[in-house]
Amino acid sequence: MSHSPTRYWEYLRLQQLLGLQHGLSEERELSNDEVLFITVHQIDELWFKLILRELEEVRDVFARPHVPEQELGSAVRGLRRVAILFQQVGNHFALMETMTTRDYLAFRDKLSPASGFQSVQMREMEVLMGLESSRRVALGYEGSYRDALKGPGGSPTWSTKRLDRRLEDLPTLKDAIDEWLHRTPIMGKRPGEAGADEALARFAAAYLAQHGRECDRTAAFSMHDGLHEEDRTRITERYAKERVNAAAFLRAEDLEEGPERARRARIRAALLFIESYRELPLLAWPREVVETVVALEQASLIFRQRHARMVERVIGRRTGTGGSAGVDYLDKTALRYRVFDDFWTVRTLLLREAALPPLEDAAFYGLVADG
């Protein structure tokens, strides 16, 4: 049976796609600036769509009770893809900057009070990644980020429905990855196994002792002859604080005493363990996971930063169409909207290889002794 050959424009739905850049009127009535504005937003929303698909798939891998080694490879590829997608969106802001303030003001009133603040896919990405609600920056009068998506009289919309579905779709990527990290064998012992808590305590104590020595060592390097007494005191205090912070972090003292604190302490130790003994064969994929999670969050923060700088260039520090403080609001999100804090903090504690505490049970991790 013969069928008509597939055509490029049909497969890609080009007729429909190219007919979507008209905003609220006919495309021929719009300036090139406005069509650019609409098109870049649409392309970015398509990148957001791809990010959501990848994040979901990666989350599903980590949500499994046991994650096979080969699955970690595809999870890393997904995370890497998300990082690149965020970079792409960030790069598009340069196109927005080809528009002068006056060019933009010529059509800005048409979209007001709409705003990127109403991008449900942005909120879905945050929710799926696991951004805590307490981190959110209030926009002002709206109250909650969900309210901004409601219809007239607070009625549900396509956006609120999508967001609500996403809020129910658990676990978040962060929770799934944390659960996986929690199972990491530390000094050859998995949680729940006989001697696991002791092995963890030994690792943390040995690490902190080495960390203290390294702080003293680096502090000594900083004490050159030209320093004033106040400079010396400042440097000494700074290193003392690093030690206190390192211990408080590894013991999860920021959480109330109890099972949650113990769980967080193990997760943080696992991150430190993976990063410290990264050359061990069994840790080859886990260390790639840690690396790409950091790359992903870095890319998303740079995207937020880049957006803020573009906005400052195009509209200065005026109030946003969504009613926020504009650039000030965006800069706050770029500082606060982090999900994987522990992954970053571990970098402050990491030691050079020669200073690491000796590894127990190296054979468990696939390291074969020479000879």
**Residues in binding contact with ligand HEM, number by CB under 6 A:** 23
Cis peptide before 286 (omega within 30 of 0): no
Q: Minimum CB separation from ligand HEM for residue 311, in Å?
A: 4
40 binds ligand HEM (CB under 6 A): yes
Helix count (H) and strand count (E) of the chain? 14, 0
Pick from 78, 90, 185, 322 the residue near ligand HEM by CB under 6 A. 322
Give CA–CA dist 124/299, Å, rounded: 17
Pick from 21, 22, 23, 41 the residue near ligand HEM by CB under 6 A. 41
Give CA–CA dist 360/371, Å, rounded: 19
Per-residue binder mask for ligand HEM (CB under 6 A), 223-262, x = binder: ----------------------------------------
314 binds ligand HEM (CB under 6 A): yes
276 binds ligand HEM (CB under 6 A): no
Pick from 54, 75, 321, 346 the residue near ligand HEM by CB under 6 A. 321
Give CA–CA dist 360/186, Å, rounded: 9
Residue type for 212, please? G
Pick from 30, 67, 96, 346 the residue near ligand HEM by CB under 6 A. 96
Q: Minimum CB separation from ligand HEM for residue 40, in Å?
A: 5
23 binds ligand HEM (CB under 6 A): no
Which segment (17-25, 261-269, 327-335, 342-350) binds ligand HEM by CB under 6 A?
Answer: 327-335
Pick from 275, 326, 339, 343 the residue near ligand HEM by CB under 6 A. 326
Give CA–CA dist 155/146, Å, rounded: 12
Return the number of the residue (130 or 185) whose C-beta is nearest ligand HEM: 130
Q: Minimum CB separation from ligand HEM for residue 140, in Å?
A: 8
Give CA–CA dist 180/345, Å, rounded: 19
104 binds ligand HEM (CB under 6 A): yes
- 109-148 positions binding ligand HEM, by CB under 6 A: 115-117, 119, 122
Residue 316 and residue 121 in contact, taking contact as beta carbons nearer than 8 Å: no
Give CA–CA dist 63/84, Å, rounded: 23
Question: HEC states along 26-50?
Answer: CHHHCCHHHHHHHHHHHHHHHHHHH
Q: Minimum CB separation from ligand HEM for residue 94, in Å?
A: 11
Tell which residue, 122, 137, 123, 131, has the closest CA to residue 173: 131
286 binds ligand HEM (CB under 6 A): no
51 binds ligand HEM (CB under 6 A): no
Pick from 146, 323, 338, 356 the residue near ligand HEM by CB under 6 A. 323
Return the number of the residue (266 or 304) whose C-beta is nearest ligand HEM: 304
The radius of gyration of the chain's CA atoms, rounded to the nearest angstrom, is 25
311 binds ligand HEM (CB under 6 A): yes
Q: Minimum CB separation from ligand HEM for residue 169, in Å?
A: 20
44 binds ligand HEM (CB under 6 A): yes
Q: Minimum CB separation from ligand HEM for residue 156, in Å?
A: 20
Return the number of the residue (128 or 311) whose C-beta is nearest ligand HEM: 311
Return the number of the residue (75 or 314) whose C-beta is nearest ligand HEM: 314
Give CA–CA dist 44/248, Å, rounded: 40
The stretches of 68-119 forming alpha helices (DSSP H) are 69-96, 101-111
Q: Which residues of 240-267 are buried (b: 16+ CB within 10 A; e: fewer)?
A: eebeeebbebbbbeeeeeeeeebbbbbb
CB < 8 Å & 24+ apart, contacts of 302-309: 302/86, 302/87, 302/90, 303/86, 303/87, 303/89, 303/90, 304/330, 304/333, 304/334, 304/337, 305/331, 305/334, 306/90, 306/93, 307/90, 307/93, 308/334, 309/93
Q: Please name every residue paired with 186 in a beta bridge, in sequence order, or none if there are none.
A: 189
In the complex, which residues of this chain contact ligand HEM (CB under 6 A)?
40-41, 44, 96, 104, 115-117, 119, 122, 307, 311, 314-315, 320-324, 326, 329-330, 333
